[in-house]
Structure formats: C-alpha cells, structure tokens
Structure 1
Amino acid sequence: MKNKYANLLSPITINGMTLRNRTVMPPIGSNLATVSAEVSEEMIKYYELRAKGGTGLIIVENACVDFPMGTNGTKQCRIDDNQYVPGLYTLVERLHAYGAKVSIQLNHAGASAYAARLNGEQPISASNIPSKKGGTIPRPLTVDEMKAIAKKYGESAARAQLAGFDSVEIHGGHSYLLSQFLSPLFNDRKDEFGGSAENRARFPKMVIDEVRAAVGPRFPIAIRISADDMIQGGNTLEDSLELMEYLQEKVDFINVSIAQNDTLYLQHDKMSLPEGWRSYMAKAIRDKFDKPVITSGNFRTPEVCEEVIAKGDADLVAMGRGLIAEPYWANKVANGEEHLLRRCISCNIGCADHRLAKSQPIRCTVNPDLLFEDAYKDKQVKKSINVAVIGGGTAGLEAACTAAEVGCNVTLFEEKDRLGGLSWMIGTIPAKKKIHYFVEYLENRAKELSNLNIKLNTRATKELLDEVKPDIIINATGSKPLLPPISGLKENVDKEGGKVKSTFGFIENIDAFDKEDCKGKKIVVVGGGAVGLDVVEFFAEKGADVSDIEMLPVIGKDLDTNTKLDAYHMMKENNVKQLTETALQTVNESSFTVKNSDGSIEEINFDYGFVCLGMRAEISDLPMAEAYAEEKDVKLLNIGDSFRARRIINGTEEGRNILKTLEVMGAFR
C-alpha cells in the first residue's frame, strides 16, 4: 500500500515538525471538555483513538484565548490561563505516545460568541454587523482592545508550547473574529483596520506577530482561512490571495478552508459535493506562496487523497468528519484494509447539528462509539448464544455484525434481494449517494464474519426461527411511507402509469425521472421534511417548476442546521414555491386539492405529484416475533425505524446496544 499511496503515506517536515503521513484531523468542536472548560478524560480518549489510528497531525479543537468574550460553545476548552496547561499537557502526552503530532487551534469568536456566557455584554467584532443572518449585533473593537486581544493570542500560544504541542493554528476563517476583520461581509470600518485588503489584514497580522514573538522562530504556526466566503459581497479566492500577502510571512503552513456562517452547508461540505471539490483553492495558495497547505472537502477515499497530493494541489489532506467516522483511516489504508473503511456519509447530524443546534456532545451516524471503537470485540460470550435478526437495513446489520463479533451465532433474514433497507433506497437519489458508503461498509464487515449467516429473499417465519433456536430476536424491519387516509390518495398513489407517487414510488422510478427532460414541467411535492426536500431538489435542479406544500409555518422545521441552510439556498436559487400552512385535502389524477392558510380551497395541477409526508414504522412482522418470543421465553428487541421512524444515527446506536442486552443477560466472560 505504501507504493500505491506513496505521497499520502510519506512523511513531511514543516519548520522542524515531521509528520508520519499527510493525513490531518482538523479542529472540530466536540463538546467533550468539562463544564469548567478543561480537558476531560473523555476528550483525551476521543483524540487518542485518532492518534492510535495513524493520523499524521491532529489539530485539537478551537481553544478560547479570551474568556468569556471569545468563547463559542457550551463546553469549549480554554487556553487563556495557566490552569489549563496540565490537562492539555496530558492530552498531548497521550497522543504523542501513538506517534501523532499535535497542534491546537487558537480562536476568538468575536460576534459569533456564545451569548449565554457573555453575562449580558454585547459581543465584539470589526464592526456592528452580525456574523450570521439574525445574529446578535456586535460593537466595534477599539484599537487598544485589539492590541490587548492580540497579546492574549500570543500568551495562549506560549501556553501551548508549555503543554507540549508541536504547533499552533490561528483561526482566521468561518465567521470568527479574525475573519470578521478580513471579510468585507463584516468589516465596514473607516479607519486603518478597514477598507483595503492591507487594512483588513492589519489586525490578524498583529495577532500573528504576537504569536510568533511568543513561540520563537522554530515553532510551526499555521493559519486557517476561508479562502472564499461563498457569499456575494464577501471575499473571493482572488481577494484571499491578496490578503495572504500580508499574513503569510510569519506562518509556516496554511489551512485552506472556505465559507462563513451563512454558507455553513459548504463549510461542512454537504453530501452532494464531490471529494476534494475545493482543492483548487489550496493549489492557488500553494502556488503563490510556496508554503505547505492543508486542503479539505469531503475526502473519503485514499485514491482521491493521493491524487490531490501527487499533482501538487496540496501537501496535506484534512478529514475532520472522515476521522470521526473512521479513526483508523490511515492505518487501514496503510494495511490494505480499504474495504473496511467506515467512510463518512456527510450527513452532518451527530458531528455538526449535535453541537451547533442542540448543545450536545459530538456523535456520529455511522460510528456508534467515538471513544473506544472496536474495544468491545475483546469481550466474547462465554456460551453459545443464537441471535435472529429480522431486517437487513443499517440498524439490523449493525446489530448482526456486533453480535457476531463478540461470538454469537447470528442469522439475519431480509425479504428483499439486497441489504441496506431504506438507507440503500435513499442512496439511489443522486444527491444522497454517499449513504451507500455505510451500507457497503456494513456488507464488507459482515462478509468477514463466518458466524453471521445472511438469508436474502427470505421473510422470517415461526418455522425459520425454530431452525435458528434464538436466544435473542432483533426486529429491525424499518419503515415505509406514511400515507394518511386522505381522499383519493390510496386510489391514485403509485398507480402504474399514474402521475402521483409516494416516496418509494419516486425512488423506484428515479432512473426514469433522471433520464427525462423535466425542464419546465410542473412538479408538486406534498411534505417539507427531509425526503420531500430531496424530491424538491432533484426536480428543481433539473429545471422543473417546483412547488412544495407544507402544513407547518416553515419548511424543513426538523432538519439539521446544515441541511436546512442548504435547502433554503436551493429553493431560493431555483425559485421553488413554498406553500406553507397549506393542507392537502384531496388527491386527484393530475392535481392536489389543498386548503390554504386563509381557509380557501385551491386546486394545484401537476405533471407529477409526490406525497412525502414522512415515514412510519413497518411492524407487520412484529406480532409474529412477539408471539414467538413469549412462547419460547426469549428476549425480543425492536430497534431502528421499526421502533419509531427516525434517522440512521438512532438505528446505528440501537444496533450496537445489543452489547447491553448481552451484558444484562450475563453472556460475557
């Protein structure tokens, strides 16, 4: 594998710091620090696993250099006082033991500060412009305040040295304080810190100067930038190339990111974006300044990473979400185990939405254990235990694989001719194809297990269960479209040759829709949830005239932050008509009758109409399983969407929880 990925797996030295390979874990907030902002054991284990997995450089999540005005999260770590050095030292020590180099990101949130910590004070920024639409209005910093903050960056960098870090990164992007000076989106100052590129770069340059003075010449410093704000009126790549002329001299390498708060769906690389899609920006920075650069952008597979480095677009590849999903990414690539890579599907649920919208600790849709990974495999059952799994979707597969990996004899029944369930079906939508990564990983994982017997095209029956003699039955039969008793729906939906389709009807005909010229065709979608918006996006981007009908006052109410921002942008760009507070009354062959918010009745014609009102648990097999379990006195678990229709992350977690059931049963040695 070293020859196949000679560039990706080769070392690189940056100002005396030698990395074992070109993989980087960039700084991603985890909400794993203590309430008092110190490093926790949980946080150490989280990073330690990525070091153990072979990552070259780990950049620890952004640390606050000026509390409380600079804080940006509920449980963000701090580096603004020496009391935080011992915990950070222990963190670095544990990561160094596995051969990783360790950096930490220094940050001041500015206008993006976490309001609950400001004790009623107004946040600070370059100007009085919020860092996102609807955000708190900040006050402009004085020159003396800027000088004081720059010194705090320097003092924090010195603490990072004391704690044993190999490098520091200064955050100059993503709508935080330095970005608020660099970007004309936020900076309309009339003094020497606003206006021209040189002026807008003046305060960030002060920060870099203070950091360099604090750490000396032989300590690597990186700066992370939003190379393109991806918003009209913001910095373009060309603007950033000019700004970097004033910032690059005293930094050793550059972490090239993109976007601001209002383009978060690009900063976090929405699912539909290809791997390495923004590497051209890193190449432009690298070519102009001849300094090592880090690139990022939905990297998942080693072939793409190798190509980007080999052709000189970047020197290092950052995989934040990729390493959350697969901490052993580098080692698996080096050891020829690419088929067992648990690739991130770019859903942004547990990693982004948990932290940004819900103040929850970091989690992952495809990885149910971010701290211990495969440690559960060290526990093996002490006697023969038979497990029957009904349903081969992602929840059922996770349960089946986990049970087999600890020594259970597992039989999985799937009535269809392939595994993956709803996840596989949703993954056939072009914008959602990365969901197939998870199904493919589970299938490959299952193939490694001789004690896991998968029976496709087989519906579980009492007789088949008798053959298995299960000690545990897991019902994981998933979900199906919710089709309420609306007049005309049953008669018209998914009828052969008909114009009205359910969610499944859309997916089953997606190849035909993809080939069809949809430009100008009238498409009406009922339902403004995740699946409804998938249908909206599919047709809107094919040039159709799309309307979305939603009973609630807003479309996408329960979507994660990333997807919601992307959906609103997509609908605006494609002129999608949003008919909110509108209720479906009748389904006709080529029209929907709806009741508008004012009580009026309207008929809306279409070329195709889609009823996407969510999903409901598919439990047709559950009564049989319940009766069998009661008769035989065996344990029955109902997991995933067959318990309640939700997200993939819930089913993955519940599938792994078979370990808890086995533990309670006293099954382990």
Structure 2
Amino acid sequence: MKYPKLFEKGKIGSLELKNRIVMCSLAMGISDDKQCVGEAFRTYLMERVQGGVGMIILENTRVDDEHGVAAPWQASLARDEQIASMKQVVEEIHSYDVKVLAQLHHPGRETFSNLNSNEPVWSSSNKSCGVCNQETHEMTTEEVEQVIGKFVEAAKRATQAGLDGVELHGAHGYLISQFLSPYTNQRTDRFGGSFEGRFQFVKEIYEGIRTVCNQDFVVGVRLTVDELLAPNGVEEYLKLEEGIKVCQALESLGIDYINVSNGIYESFNALSEPMTYPQGCRSSLIQAVKEAVHIPIIAVNMIKEPWFAEKMLEDNLVDFVGLGRAVVADPEWAIKALEERECEINRCISCTFCFETLVSDAIAGKGPVKCAVNPRAGRESLYPAYKRDGDGRTVIVVGAGVAGLEAARVLAERDFRVILVEKEGKVGGQINIADKPPHKRKIDWIVEYELNQLQKLGVSIVCNTEVTEGVLEAFNPYAIILATGGEPIKPATIPGIELEKALTFKEVLCQDKELEGKKVAVIGSGATGLETAEFLCSKGNEVTIVEMLDSIGKGVYVQHYLDAMDKLSHYNVTYMPKTKLISIQKEGVLLENIEENKQAMYPVDYAVLALGVHSVNPLEEITKGICNRVFVIGDAAKVGRIEGAVRQGFEAAYTL
C-alpha cells in the first residue's frame, strides 16, 4: 500500500521536512553520566534517523540541574559542556536530511526529591503530585524568573549545538503545564490567578528565547489540552475549552507548532494509553485544536500502523504524525512503510513496559528503558548488527512461543539452520491465552511479526510434533534451545481440585469450557485474574474475585491495574480480599476470611484458578547427552512476561 500523504514534504516554521513523520520525545535514560550524548544515545538516535523519519524531537532535555531533574541519565542542555556532543550528533542527523529539535523540560512537582538536591520539589504551588507524593515547594517569584532564564539559556545552547529548534514541554503535568493549570496553580503573583497570569510563565519563556535565537529557529510546544481529571473527582482543572484558549494564545504569541497531548501523572493512562485503548483514541481532542488554530499540528494518537497515520493526514486531523513508542519498537517503521513492507513492521503492542521501566530502571538509575518487543531498543551499541557466522550449523528450537520465535528469528538472521518444533497445532504459546480477554488483540502483533520474519528468512515450523531424545539425536545439532513454556498452576493439594467445576484460567479463556450466565469465583487477582474476570463478565457471568492478600491487584503494575479496574467497574463484581480458598465442593467454594479466621461456604457454579503459571521443562536432562550447548529460555526457565521471554530468546541466539 502506498502512503502519499505520509511521504509528502511539509513545513514547520522555517523548516521543510522530507515527510510527515515526526519521532516524538520519549524518555529513554541513555545519555552518559554527564547527561551528554554518548555512544549509546547516538546509536539509538541514528538507527531511527536511518529508518526514515522526517524530524526527531529529542527526549525530555534538562534545563535545570538543581531542581529540574527527571532521571539521572536524562539528556541535558543545562551546561555548556553538553553542547559539543550534541553538536556532533546533530551534524550526523542532518547528513540524512532529518531535522532535529530538543524538548526543553522541567518536571516541576512530577519528580523525586532524591534527584533534586534532596530538597522539596519545585512547582507553581505547594500542591504535591498524587503519584510522586513528594514534599512540594511553591516557587518564589524570583525562582520562577530564574527557571525562565534557564529555559532561555538552554535554547541558546541548542542553537550553538546546531539544533533546528526546541519544543517546550508543556504537557503531562510538568512545570509549564503546572503553571497553565488551575488545578496546580494557586499563585497570587503575576504568574497566577487569571488565565493571563497562568499563561505568563510560558509566555516569558518564549519571549526570552526569541531574544537569543534567530527568527528561523523553530519553537513549538507540546501541550496537554485536557488534564482529564474528572474521573478522579477533581472539578477545577485544565479542560479542553481552556486548553484550546491556551493554543490560540500560543499561536498569537508566534509559536511555530503545537504538539497536542492530554493527561497528567494523576490521569496517567490518558497520556500513556495501555493496550486496550484503540488507535485514534485522542482524535476528538486533536480535532478540536486543529479547528481552532492555523499553525501546524503534530500529535501522537496511539498510531501503530501506517494506514492509520495516512488516514489522520487524509482527514486533516494533523499536519504531521507523531510516533513515540512505535519507533522504539521498530526504528525502521518509516522506511518499511515507504517501501510497502508494512507486514515487516514490529508493531508496538502498547503493553506500557517502556513506561514501567522508565520508573523502575531509568528514573531509579538502573539502566535505560526497555521495550517488550525490541530487546535492542536503547541498547543498540551493546548489540550491534548481527554477526552472520552461523555457517549453516543446525540449531533446534523446541517451542514456538515468543521466546522460541525470537530465538529462531535471530538465529536465521545469523545464517544458522533453524529447526523450530512446536507440540501444539498453533504457534504463540501463552499469547494464545493472553489475547482472549476483551481488547487484547494487539498482543497478537508480536507473533504475527515473528511469523512474517521467519517466512521471509525461510524458516519452517514443525507443529503438532512432540520432541523426543531420538528426534534430537537424529539432527546432531550444534545447539539446542528449549522454550517449552509453562502451564497454569492447578495445585493437587486443594481438596476438590478434581471436580469438573474446578477450572484454570486457560480452560476458560480458550473456551475449553464455555461459561455463560454462571456464578463464578475467580481465585487470584493478579493481572491474569483481573483479565479473566473481565472476560467472564463480558460473557454474562456473575463474578467474585477471591484474593488472599489484603487488597485486590496487589503487585499488578499500576497502569494495568487502573485499566483493569476501570473495565470491571462496568460490571457488578464482588471483591473478596483477605480471603483464602480452602476447598472446592459440589455446592460451591469453602472460603476463609484470614483476618477473622472464619470459614463459610460460598455457592458458585465454577471456581476458576488464576494462581499463575509453572515452568514446563521436560527435555533439559536428556539434551545434556546430545549437545553441550543447551539454553533454557522463557517460561521454561522462569515464568515471566513477554519482555523477558523475547529478551531471553534474543540474547540466547545473539550470543551463540
């Protein structure tokens, strides 16, 4: 399919872009220890540049080292020493006819004191962030003026580094956003009170930049136009009507473009939508802005596929499409679309693992952000191009879940002869269960990508085949990779587990046993339990979730928890935390309230166990006498998530 709109030239201010694809800012945490562009960051950027985007907006770039730190290895233009390395990579990017902007950023209250001089975090007012929960300092007028100066100084350094412009980060509840919003700005000086007062902060930043940068230097704003806080019970916040007013004021000021966004940390799933949200979920907000201003509009809109990006341009919804997670997952997204190789795109499945590891890894100083479907993302310098040194040597991969598929793909790229064997009639492993709850079909994309790549590489998959010692010996393999997966836990120690009414989540989701209009107890409230409960609710069942821990969903990543609980709120679900399953009986389940040590029979038609998965690895012992290169990966090694399975498959094949 051709995409004429997507690959049409376009203008932003003084800049002419070779196409309409903008790689938007996404924090990766891969600068060096001085927040300069080192080899890791350079390699990450250049793969996306060579992948065909028209413009790159660098990750959130620090302007203040003392009170404006979001992560230890965050890019920065707060000091002169950072100019040289930035200039070097900018020149390299320009050699590919790609424009590049820095996103100037100050987190305000949405950060942590331990990163910011161990002092209370700065904000427009002393209202702390409901997510970060840090003691918050209302900046004095003089401190506000100092930070304005730091934004201006960073923009000046950007010009010295040869950047084409800057984007002011006024979205997602960061400092500029905090000043614009009546939710976070209760000031009484000239930077608060009226709309004009709340607008003054960004106005003075822009005017300061224009005094130190020439008129050709592009200045845009990424802007939250609606904080979407109504579900939190908040009444006064930045709503779309006032967000549009901000856009119009920015246009009057002379801003070159607006990068439309929504949400703040306290409405996090609005700014980092999970898998269940569709492509185009922001369209109505974007359309309202597009109709209100005349300067170019950029927007990320859960775009994962070229056809949808093309449609946004055809519908005049945007002037440029913004890609964030999509080009982390596949740096060649643009060139594959241009060359009509859409089926080869490794599509982002919106699992939000990147945002989870932004907090757990990048902000905590443990390493770069991780992508579930692209193990090389942020680690391109650690994993350069594949060595094609397989020389046709035979490697048997047992199991065609995502770990086995990824291992087979990388081995084939390296010119090994790959024999991929799967005992089931369908590849995908646990994905064939995980895709069954409502709105989870994106998770299939990783399997579709792997299958397309294996077909391109000429790797055949042998299904419906049980691997035996004789089969392995017959091939005399150079190496064996065991990716035999896992199975749902069904403890034999539970009295009544043998009854027909005792089912696993797999049996329910794969509809080995169809349940409709039944009374069902789901035992376990991890992510699988919550999703199984939603699946059962969608089939008209009356659902109770039973959990031994003191709260439902404890340990589930917050975005997945909020998304799941929002979906379940549309049904009449009963929640029973602090409750233990004692036995399964013909009339129901015997439960014990752990807090009160009281047992009671709870009448249900079925008990569905969502207690996790155990490893299945029957072949490791017999392989030791056949081959001295044996790798156990994925759930067969240790039960985990998609990212771990893909990464283990990749690393085993890459390092062989």
Q: Does the pair score TM above 0.5? A: yes
| 1:632 equivalent in alignment to 2:613 | no
| 1:332 equivalent in alignment to 2:336 | yes
Instruction: Give 2:280's match in structure 1, choosing from 276, 279, 284.
Output: 276
The aligned runs of 1:8-157 (5 Å cut-off) are 8-133=6-131, 135-157=133-155
Helix, strand or coil for the counterpart of 2:291? helix
| 1:558 equivalent in alignment to 2:565 | no
Structure 2 partner of 1:380: 388
1:104–1:510: structure 2 CA closer, same or farther, 3 Å change rule?
farther
Given that 1:37 and 1:76 are in contact with CA atoms closer than 8 Å, whether structure 2 keeps it comes out as yes
Given that 2:544 and 2:574 are in contact with CA atoms closer than 8 Å, whether structure 1 keeps it comes out as yes
For residues 398 and 592 of structure 2, the distance between their equivalents in structure 1, rounded to whole angstroms, comes to 41
For residues 382 and 585 of structure 1, the distance between their equivalents in structure 2, rounded to whole angstroms, comes to 54
Structure 2 partner of 1:645: 639
1:376–1:190: structure 2 CA closer, same or farther, 3 Å change rule?
closer
Helix, strand or coil for the counterpart of 2:439? helix
1:225–1:575: structure 2 CA closer, same or farther, 3 Å change rule?
farther
The alpha-carbon deviation at position 605 of structure 1 amounts to 3.1
Given that 2:411 and 2:654 are in contact with CA atoms closer than 8 Å, whether structure 1 keeps it comes out as no
Letter in 2 for 1:412: L
Given that 1:403 and 1:658 are in contact with CA atoms closer than 8 Å, whether structure 2 keeps it comes out as no
Helix, strand or coil for the counterpart of 1:603? strand
The alpha-carbon deviation at position 366 of structure 1 amounts to 0.8
The alpha-carbon deviation at position 76 of structure 1 amounts to 1.4
| 1:594 equivalent in alignment to 2:598 | no
1:661–1:191: structure 2 CA closer, same or farther, 3 Å change rule?
closer
1:503–1:382: structure 2 CA closer, same or farther, 3 Å change rule?
closer
| 1:429 equivalent in alignment to 2:440 | no
The aligned runs of 1:256-271 (5 Å cut-off) are 256-271=260-275
1:536–1:382: structure 2 CA closer, same or farther, 3 Å change rule?
closer
| 1:537 equivalent in alignment to 2:531 | no
Structure 2 partner of 1:453: 460
Helix, strand or coil for the counterpart of 1:303? helix
Given that 2:408 and 2:653 are in contact with CA atoms closer than 8 Å, whether structure 1 keeps it comes out as no
Structure 1 partner of 2:181: 183
Structure 1 partner of 2:4: 6
For residues 126 and 603 of structure 2, the distance between their equivalents in structure 1, rounded to whole angstroms, comes to 47
Given that 1:377 and 1:406 are in contact with CA atoms closer than 8 Å, whether structure 2 keeps it comes out as no
Instruction: Give 1:501's match in structure 2, choosing from 500, 503, 524.
Output: 503
Given that 1:486 and 1:586 are in contact with CA atoms closer than 8 Å, whether structure 2 keeps it comes out as no
1:590–1:275: structure 2 CA closer, same or farther, 3 Å change rule?
farther
C-alpha root-mean-square deviation of aligned residues, in Å?
A: 2.3
| 1:240 equivalent in alignment to 2:237 | no
Given that 1:269 and 1:346 are in contact with CA atoms closer than 8 Å, whether structure 2 keeps it comes out as yes
Given that 1:416 and 1:457 are in contact with CA atoms closer than 8 Å, whether structure 2 keeps it comes out as yes
Helix, strand or coil for the counterpart of 2:250? coil
The alpha-carbon deviation at position 193 of structure 1 amounts to 3.3
Helix, strand or coil for the counterpart of 1:59? strand
1:149-173 CA-to-partner distances (Å, cap 9, x unmatched) read: 1121111111111111112100111
Helix, strand or coil for the counterpart of 2:177? helix
1:544–1:59: structure 2 CA closer, same or farther, 3 Å change rule?
farther
Given that 1:524 and 1:546 are in contact with CA atoms closer than 8 Å, whether structure 2 keeps it comes out as yes
1:378–1:192: structure 2 CA closer, same or farther, 3 Å change rule?
closer
For residues 385 and 211 of structure 2, the distance between their equivalents in structure 1, rounded to whole angstroms, comes to 49
The aligned runs of 1:433-444 (5 Å cut-off) are 433-444=441-452
Instruction: Give 1:254's match in structure 2, choosing from 254, 258, 262.
Output: 258
Given that 2:52 and 2:335 are in contact with CA atoms closer than 8 Å, whether structure 1 keeps it comes out as yes
Instruction: Give 1:174's match in structure 2, choosing from 167, 172, 180.
Output: 172
For residues 570 and 175 of structure 2, the distance between their equivalents in structure 1, rounded to whole angstroms, comes to 29
Given that 1:197 and 1:242 are in contact with CA atoms closer than 8 Å, whether structure 2 keeps it comes out as no
For residues 344 and 510 of structure 1, the distance between their equivalents in structure 2, rounded to whole angstroms, comes to 30
Once structures 1 and 2 are overlaid, which stretch shifts more, 561-570 or 372-381?
Answer: 372-381
| 1:287 equivalent in alignment to 2:282 | no
For residues 529 and 612 of structure 1, the distance between their equivalents in structure 2, rounded to whole angstroms, comes to 8
1:524–1:107: structure 2 CA closer, same or farther, 3 Å change rule?
same
For residues 618 and 572 of structure 1, the distance between their equivalents in structure 2, rounded to whole angstroms, comes to 35
Given that 2:186 and 2:193 are in contact with CA atoms closer than 8 Å, whether structure 1 keeps it comes out as yes
The alpha-carbon deviation at position 469 of structure 1 amounts to 2.2
1:443-464 CA-to-partner distances (Å, cap 9, x unmatched) read: 10110122x2311111112232
For residues 535 and 189 of structure 2, the distance between their equivalents in structure 1, rounded to whole angstroms, comes to 47
The alpha-carbon deviation at position 407 of structure 1 amounts to 1.2
Helix, strand or coil for the counterpart of 1:248? helix
The alpha-carbon deviation at position 557 of structure 1 amounts to 3.4
The aligned runs of 1:469-618 (5 Å cut-off) are 469-492=476-499, 495=500, 498=501, 500-509=502-511, 522-539=519-536, 546-570=543-567, 576-589=573-586, 591-598=588-595, 599-618=597-616
Helix, strand or coil for the counterpart of 1:583? strand
TM-score by length of 1: 0.91
Instruction: Give 2:359's match in structure 1, choosing from 356, 359, 366.
Output: 356
The alpha-carbon deviation at position 375 of structure 1 amounts to 7.7
Helix, strand or coil for the counterpart of 1:448? helix
For residues 264 and 201 of structure 1, the distance between their equivalents in structure 2, rounded to whole angstroms, comes to 24
1:168-192 CA-to-partner distances (Å, cap 9, x unmatched) read: 1001111111111222222233444
Helix, strand or coil for the counterpart of 1:201? helix
1:575–1:46: structure 2 CA closer, same or farther, 3 Å change rule?
farther
Unaligned runs of 5+ in 1: 663-669
| 1:303 equivalent in alignment to 2:301 | no
1:214–1:590: structure 2 CA closer, same or farther, 3 Å change rule?
farther
The alpha-carbon deviation at position 303 of structure 1 amounts to 0.7
The alpha-carbon deviation at position 312 of structure 1 amounts to 0.4
Given that 1:205 and 1:246 are in contact with CA atoms closer than 8 Å, whether structure 2 keeps it comes out as no
The alpha-carbon deviation at position 286 of structure 1 amounts to 1.6
The alpha-carbon deviation at position 382 of structure 1 amounts to 5.9
Helix, strand or coil for the counterpart of 2:227? coil
The alpha-carbon deviation at position 575 of structure 1 amounts to 6.5
Letter in 2 for 1:293: I
Identity of aligned residues (%): 31
Given that 1:389 and 1:473 are in contact with CA atoms closer than 8 Å, whether structure 2 keeps it comes out as yes
Given that 1:208 and 1:247 are in contact with CA atoms closer than 8 Å, whether structure 2 keeps it comes out as no
Helix, strand or coil for the counterpart of 1:392? coil
Given that 1:263 and 1:565 are in contact with CA atoms closer than 8 Å, whether structure 2 keeps it comes out as no
Given that 2:83 and 2:160 are in contact with CA atoms closer than 8 Å, whether structure 1 keeps it comes out as yes
The alpha-carbon deviation at position 588 of structure 1 amounts to 2.8
Given that 2:507 and 2:513 are in contact with CA atoms closer than 8 Å, whether structure 1 keeps it comes out as no
Letter in 2 for 1:392: A
The alpha-carbon deviation at position 364 of structure 1 amounts to 1.1
Once structures 1 and 2 are overlaid, which stretch shifts more, 240-249 or 417-426?
Answer: 240-249
Letter in 2 for 1:448: K
For residues 194 and 535 of structure 2, the distance between their equivalents in structure 1, rounded to whole angstroms, comes to 42
The alpha-carbon deviation at position 354 of structure 1 amounts to 1.0
Given that 2:437 and 2:534 are in contact with CA atoms closer than 8 Å, whether structure 1 keeps it comes out as no
Structure 1 partner of 2:410: 402
The alpha-carbon deviation at position 133 of structure 1 amounts to 4.1
1:39–1:576: structure 2 CA closer, same or farther, 3 Å change rule?
farther
Letter in 2 for 1:316: F
Once structures 1 and 2 are overlaid, which stretch shifts more, 358-367 or 154-163?
Answer: 358-367
Once structures 1 and 2 are overlaid, which stretch shifts more, 57-66 or 209-218?
Answer: 209-218
Once structures 1 and 2 are overlaid, which stretch shifts more, 582-591 or 159-168?
Answer: 582-591
Unaligned runs of 5+ in 2: none
Instruction: Give 1:159's match in structure 2, choosing from 154, 157, 160.
Output: 157
Structure 1 partner of 2:322: 318
